[in-house]
Amino acid sequence: MRVIVGCESSAAVRDAFRARGHDAWSCDLLPCEGDPQWHIQGDLLEVIDREWDLGIFHPPCTRLTNSGVRWLEERNLWAELEEACRFFLQCMHAPIPRVVVENPIQHGHAASRISVPPTQIIQPWMFGHGETKATCLWLKGLPPLLPTNIVAGREPRVHFMSPGPDRWKERSRTLPGIAAAMADQWGNYTDLVTQMEAA
């Protein structure tokens, strides 16, 4: 299966799919933190139509989430909000049969412009990580992600991260348990559906 993981420089999701035998690639404006051999450094929209079987996208959320809503009026960031919504929708409507778009919970201005509610909301503690970070998934052609290892911890680690130049990057990383669940469940599901469609 050919997989494109958009707006990912960590290679976490890409490598989880590659470890299971899929032809997975990451794409980001930033260089790859992992093996650059399967990384496209550039504009996602320039490669989004290259006959992928599955697209998993992490569009920038700075202007879309509740944590940043107060700055829209105060700093007049409405144009940036419109651009962020446009890119989000381009990911959602990518010409790919199976699509996942991942983002935190959106504020009302973003939600009204995107006008499609998320399919599900997941938490790290559902996948073996003892912390909280509500993450929304918008799904096309895929079933919801099932919990794999529910743990007791409920620490808001990401919320209490110290300020710094890379804080945004650390906050946006996909945790290994979630990446593994995506690769295990959606990789197998899409393989099965592809076989059924070809029969």
Global pTM? 0.89
Q: Provide the residue ranges of all domains of the chain, joining segments of one domain with +.
A: 2-198
Question: In the chain, helix, strand, coil percent, each to 5?
Answer: 35, 20, 45
SS3 of residue 147 by DSSP: coil
For a pLDDT cut of 90, what percent of the chain falls above it? Answer: 77
What pLDDT does 31 receive? 96
Q: What is the pLDDT of residues 28-52, one digit of tens each?
A: 999 999 999 999 999 999 999 999 9
DSSP state of 181: H
Question: What does residue 68 show for φ and ψ, rounded to 5 degrees?
Answer: -110, 5
CATH number of 2-198: 3.40.50.150
The pLDDT tens digits along the chain (199 residues) read 999 999 999 999 999 999 999 999 999 999 999 999 999 999 999 999 999 999 999 999 989 998 778 889 889 999 999 999 999 999 999 999 999 999 999 999 999 999 999 999 999 999 999 999 999 999 999 999 999 999 987 776 655 555 565 644 555 689 999 999 999 999 987 666 666 566 5
Taking every pair of Cα atoms in the chain, the longest distance, rounded to a whole number of angstroms, is 57
- Please name the residues in contact with 56: beta carbons below 8 A apart, sequence gap of 6 or more: 3, 4, 5, 6, 8, 13, 99, 100, 102, 182
Q: What is the pLDDT of residues 48-69, one digit of tens each?
A: 999 999 999 999 998 999 877 8
Q: Is residue 124 a contact partner of residue 95, using CB atoms and an 8 Å limit?
A: no
